[in-house]
Amino acid sequence: MRKCLDSFHTSFNDFETMFSYHENQSKDSVWCRTAVKNLQVAPLDKTSSLYGTLTKFASNVSEEAVHDTADNLGLAIKINRYYPLRDTSFKSLTDRAKISGSALPKLNKPDLAKVLNSCLKLHSANALLLIRDEKISAAHSGDEKDYSVLEINRLLESISDKLTERFPGHNFDSGYTDHSMTSASWSLPGQCEEILGTYKKVLDSKGKSAMAAKLMPGIRFCTSDTGMASAKTAALLLGLTYPIHIGGMLAVEHRGQAKIEDFTKNLDMMFAQFGNAISMLEKLTEIYLDYPVNAMTAICKKLSMPKKAALEAIAMFEGSLGSSAVTAHDIFMAMQEIIFILRTEGISEGKLLLTEENLARALTLRWSDFDYAKAVNY
């Protein structure tokens, strides 16, 4: 699959390959500052005059990139010449124009270009554009206080160095990148007893030795330089069918003149969070619920879980209930099925990560408040 395509994504099985990929991407990417009022948007759908001529005037833009843009966002933007716009740039571009609304994407491309141009020329601020893989991938604010470039290869290098320092023997688990999001996870086998020892004993005492034997602590990293996410790290439980996000994400926003050093300092805080997250999991094993299906439904609703996937997971949980007492921990683990369902439906990695973050908030809820005797409507 060509990297110029908006649907491009790839996975990595080893850190060296992932780091090399993003190091090369950083070298090939161009960050360009220009006045917002100088930006000119043009339609790039299959009926536009630009559709058949852009590659003649832009030697580094392929016909494949033009065709793909016409099938997706259908716009181009002129800096010193025209570049196709990637769909990841739309939100940041409308932010520069200071317009929003669900009607915008419904406009035909010539009208949408006219609206954007009419608004862009009203503003004297600067824009920071990211040119990557033959297209404009983002149009951030050009004020350094509003957007700070945190290069993905340097973030990866920073977290790898910290893991070597704090968790010797760590293993790269998996990596993923597309035009909007990059993520990676590591397992920490050398610290399994230190981090999970007490928790595993609790699970053993509850008759869940099979689950306890599989668990491994891990770390998740994700970021985006197209405005989709800050640079984030979080604790994970690995070893089951899918990673379980525990605790809150620690994030360094791409703003306020943030630097890679700020992300590195944040990692020390994240390592300390492991103990708190595991303690919260242990407490869930002590909370017994009288109406577990109602409680699971109410909590999924509270956390804004995707309705279709949540109802399917709730039905599966209800069908598996026996005569044993049910704890909040049982429900929390059953709720992880939502992530698996969404993954099988082909939901984007970015939306999956956001759902995992929201699901992790269940650890901080007062579960007794959701133990309703009356059935809950989703």
Q: What is the pLDDT of residues 10-33, one digit of tens each?
A: 999 999 999 999 999 999 999 999
| pLDDT given for residue 1 in this prediction | 56
Residue type, 284: L
Q: Rounded to an integer, what is the distance from CA 238 to the centroid of its chain?
A: 18
**Short-list 2, 6, 1, 26, CA closest to 137:** 6
| pLDDT given for residue 241 in this prediction | 83
CA angle 58–63–69, rounded 5-degree value? 95
| pLDDT given for residue 143 in this prediction | 85
pLDDT at 58 over 70: no
Residue type, 139: A
Tokens describing residue 2: 């060509």
pLDDT at 4 over 80: yes
Per the model's pLDDT, the better-predicted residue between 378 and 365 turns out to be: 365
Q: How confident is the model over 193-201, as a mean pLDDT?
A: 93
| pLDDT given for residue 361 in this prediction | 93
- Contacts of residue 286, defined as CB under 8 A and 6 or more positions apart, other chains included, come to 327
Question: What are the C-alpha distances in Å from 95 to residues 74, 102, 227?
Answer: 18, 14, 11
pLDDT at 140 over 60: yes
Q: Report pTM.
A: 0.89
Q: How far apart are CA 175 and CA 59, in angstroms?
A: 32
DSSP state of 86: P
Query: DSSP string covering 29-68, please?
Result: -EEEEEEGGG-EEEE-STTSHHHHHHHHH-TTS-HHHHHH
pLDDT > 70: percent of the chain: 99
- Contacts of residue 11, defined as CB under 8 A and 6 or more positions apart, other chains included, come to 174, 175, 176
pLDDT > 90: percent of the chain: 71
Task: Grade residue 52 by pLDDT with cuts at 50, 70 and 90.
Answer: confident
pLDDT at 209 over 90: yes
Give me the count of residues in the chain: 378
Question: What are the C-alpha distances in Å from 215 to residues 188, 286, 287?
Answer: 11, 19, 21
Beta bridge partners of 12: 175
Helix (H, G, I), strand (E, B) or coil at 130: strand
Q: Are 183 and 152 in contact (CB under 8 A)?
A: no
| pLDDT given for residue 19 in this prediction | 97
Task: Grade residue 367 by pLDDT with cuts at 50, 70 and 90.
Answer: very high
DSSP state of 228: S
| pLDDT given for residue 354 in this prediction | 87
Task: Grade residue 237 by pLDDT with cuts at 50, 70 and 90.
Answer: very high
| pLDDT given for residue 57 in this prediction | 64
Q: How confident is the model over 95-110, as a mean pLDDT?
A: 93
Q: Rounded to an integer, what is the distance from CA 102 to the centroid of its chain?
A: 22
Tally DSSP H helices, then E strands, for the chain: 14, 14
Q: Rounded to an integer, what is the distance from CA 240 to the centroid of its chain?
A: 21
Burial class (CB in 10 A: 0-12, 13-18, 19+), 372: middle
pLDDT at 299 over 60: yes
